Structure 1
Amino acid sequence: MIALAASLAVSPVGGAASAAAAAGAAGEDTATPGAEAAAVSQVEWPAKNLSRIGVVSAFEPEWQSLKADLSDAETVRINGVDFVTGKLAGKDVVLFLSGVSMVNAAMTTQLALDRFGIEAIVFSGIAGGVDPALDIGDVVVADRWAQYLEAVFARKDGEDWKLPSYAKRAMPNHGMIFPQPVEVRSRRAETAEEIFWFEADGTLLNVARQVAGKVALERCAGEACLTRAPHVVVGGSGVSGPVFVDNAEFRQYVAEAFDASVLDMESAAVAHVAYANAVPFIAFRSLSDLAGGGEGENEMATFFALASENSARVVKAFVAAMPTGGK
């Protein structure tokens, strides 16, 4: 059943038209067709009456396996985004798609935190591998995330680069690109903080370590099989930015400058929002490609389904192992 989340209780008196008006006033979608209209008109959704684990993926293939194992599923649509509540591995969860890239991920995560009683955020998805020791199919659970394009594009000054007076040389540059910390305002501090690395929650990382060696990961995508069995790696650094990276030179820069294992388009944004809201965060990313480091064409088209499945398998084991209450 798809229901519309409205902040006001909707009475059955007045029918679907009254409900649509109330939902519209609350800023919600009202385009629920046909047979669903009567159910929509009578819904009252208590957004924060239950503590849940928020499980987020960027796009459809990444959450199919998770949705398939969800019981007692109910879908509520807010501002065009479907949030699916239910039980995963016996735990109360809300599943949703953030949309691809940084702004979508930040916006949708904040929407979920505002509407649901989320006590921990878990990201499940695919990524590009930048650590030469890793291979396609591996699942990386980084212990910190940074935004590599939170940066100053510097002015050329002879053989060097000239930065504005306020800018920092926080990390090694890539040509004109000088990564910078981001300013974060939250209830954690009276004034804005400058943060470069957003840390995954230590307790959640410990749970991830407990399940890392216990999950059987997929090795073949149709007739295309990996040369070695994939494995789960907990720890290390991850970086995110609004760019699909398929470039060997930039991949090497990211690996060396950030000591990064993995590169994606959402995790650091979700980690940023989680930090600002004081909500524990962790991300599971399975490598669908090598971000330009492999021979021939990019591997994502061949292995994204395998990588999505591997990430989802580890996330399901992780959720099952989480203590009651999610913390």
Structure 2
Amino acid sequence: MPLPRLALALCLAPTLALAQPLDPEPRIAVMSAFPPEWTTLLAAMERPEEHVVNGIRFVTGTLAGRSVVLFLTGVSMVNAAMTTQLVIDRFDIEGVVFSGIAGGVDPSLAIGDVVVAAEWSQYLESVFARETPDGFALPPWMEPSGLPNFGMIHPQPVGVTREGSEGVEQKVWFPADPDWLRVAEDVAAGTILEDCPPEGACLSHVPRIVVGGRGVSGQAFVDNAEFREWTHATFEARVLDMESAAVAHVAYANGVPFIAFRSLSDLAGGGEGANEMATFMGLAAGNSAAVVTAFLAALPE
């Protein structure tokens, strides 16, 4: 028996409500993974207005003269992908910008440096291969990706569909927006980074901004020198984190410009002593936020 019209409307009401935009103004989504990474950005917001969806706090306002929506993705690839899609669905998003800390895997880089990678890959989009007397072997029906394995871990591309595509596209790399990268290059030339946190030890070097190259992301906090060396050699990666490639993936699927600014809080296991993140997290987060703020100010209208 068909539902009466009123009952049907009541059943559909929650779905219809979810589809309503929270704010009509075109904005740039500016995101970080967890609170220490966004403190500076949130404090600099003008005319902040809060919206809450699924328990996630979205703050609209103006930052460096640009209309933005600022929010936390949560740590991890799944959280980052989920919240990026949510902001695209519920706001009029002109592009997405990530600001945060990361582990450095390029031995030429140091703590405090800010990396703005040109493309991102997901190193744990992989097959955990079977061990045989001749080494780790992929299933016989699976094609190798051409990327070197790390023991049982064999990297693979990920299938992506988006509007206008024919079938599933197999991708290893998700690009940052080339126009935005050019703006970042201009910003890098005129932005000075901090080398001393408000409290604690100062760096023994002057941090720098590096635009270009590659970054990788995955569902693991990496503090292992051997794995660090593998990610650098295999992906030619400069930086490693737990969110950026997921955000780049979602932005690509939606046809939205993307860029990530990641400042090195540690060396992903490459340091001489214990992991450095707790010591330099505040310094790195502040450096990333400074470059993001300068980037927003430099964007053409």
Question: What TM-score do the two structures reach when normalised by structure 1?
Answer: 0.85
SS of corresponding position for 1:271: helix
* One-letter amino acid of the counterpart of residue 224, structure 1: A
Residue 182 of structure 2 is aligned to residue 170 of structure 1: no
Write the distance in 1 (CA, Å) between the matches of 2:145 and 2:64.
45
Q: Equivalents in 2 of 1:201, 1:172: separation in Å? A: 28
Give the drift of 1:298: 0.2
Is the CA contact (8 Å cut-off) linking 1:167 and 1:180 kept in structure 2?
no
Q: Deviations over 1:18-63 (max 9, x none)?
A: xxx9xx946999xxxxxxxxxxxxxxx8535211100010000101
Within 5 Å, give how 1:1-327 maps onto structure 2: 25=14, 46-47=21-22, 49-164=24-139, 165-221=141-197, 222-324=199-301
Q: Is the 8 A contact 1:182 1:196 kept in 2?
A: yes
Tell me, yes or no, if the aligned pair for 1:188 and 1:276 is still in contact at 8 Å.
Answer: no
User: What SS class does the counterpart of residue 224 from structure 1 fall into?
Assistant: coil
Shift of 1:160: 2.3
Q: Distance in 2 between matches of 1:192 and 1:304?
A: 39
Q: What amino acid is the match of 2:183?
A: V
Query: Post-superposition shift, 1:236?
Result: 0.6
Post-superposition Cα deviations, 1:62-115, rounded to whole Å, max 9, x if no partner, equal 011001111010010000000000000111000010000100000000000000
Counterpart Cα distance in 1 of 2:229 and 2:35: 29
- Provide the rounded CA distance (Å) in 2 between the counterparts of 1:235 and 1:55: 20
2:205 aligned partner, one-letter code: R
1:126-160 superposed Cα distances (whole Å, 9 cap, x missing partner): 00000010000000000000000000011112132
Alpha-carbon offset, residue 169 of structure 1: 2.8
What is aligned with 1:36?
Answer: none
Runs of 4+ with deviation above 6 angstroms: none
Q: In 1, distance between residues paired with 2:268 and 2:223?
A: 4
Tell me which moved more, 187-196 or 137-146. 187-196
Partner of 2:31: helix, strand, or coil?
A: strand
Aligned counterparts of 1:168 and 1:279: Cα–Cα separation in 2? 30
Superposition deviation, residue 223 in structure 1: 3.1
The equivalent residue for 2:7 is none
Q: Which moved more, 1:215-224 or 1:265-274?
A: 215-224
Over aligned residues, Cα RMSD in angstroms?
1.8
CA contact (8 A) 2:114 2:263 kept: yes
The code of the aligned residue for 1:213 comes to A
Aligned with 1:213: secondary structure? helix
Asked if the contact 2:22–2:51 (Cα under 8 Å) also holds between the matched residues in 1, the reply is no
Unaligned ranges ≥5, structure 1: 1-20, 30-44
Write the letter of the residue equivalent to 2:253.
A
Amino acid of the structure 2 residue aligned with 1:152: V
Tell me the amino acid that sits aligned with residue 255 of structure 1: H
- Deviations 1:242-281 (Å, cap 9, x if unpaired)? 1000000000101111110000000000000000000000
Residue 12 of structure 1 corresponds to none
Give the secondary structure class of the aligned counterpart of 2:38: helix
Matched residue of 1:94: which SS? strand
Gaps of 5+ in 2: 1-9
Take 1:167 and 1:28, find their aligned partners in 2: how far apart are those partners? 44
Equivalenced residues, count? 288
CA deviation after TM superposition for structure 1 residue 121, in Å: 0.4
Percentage identity across aligned positions?
A: 60
| TM-score, length-scaled by structure 2 | 0.92
The residue that corresponds to 1:39 in the other structure is none
- The separation in 1 between residues aligned to 2:206 and 2:17, in whole angstroms, is 46
Q: Secondary structure at the match of 2:24?
A: coil
Alpha-carbon deviation of 1:214? 1.2
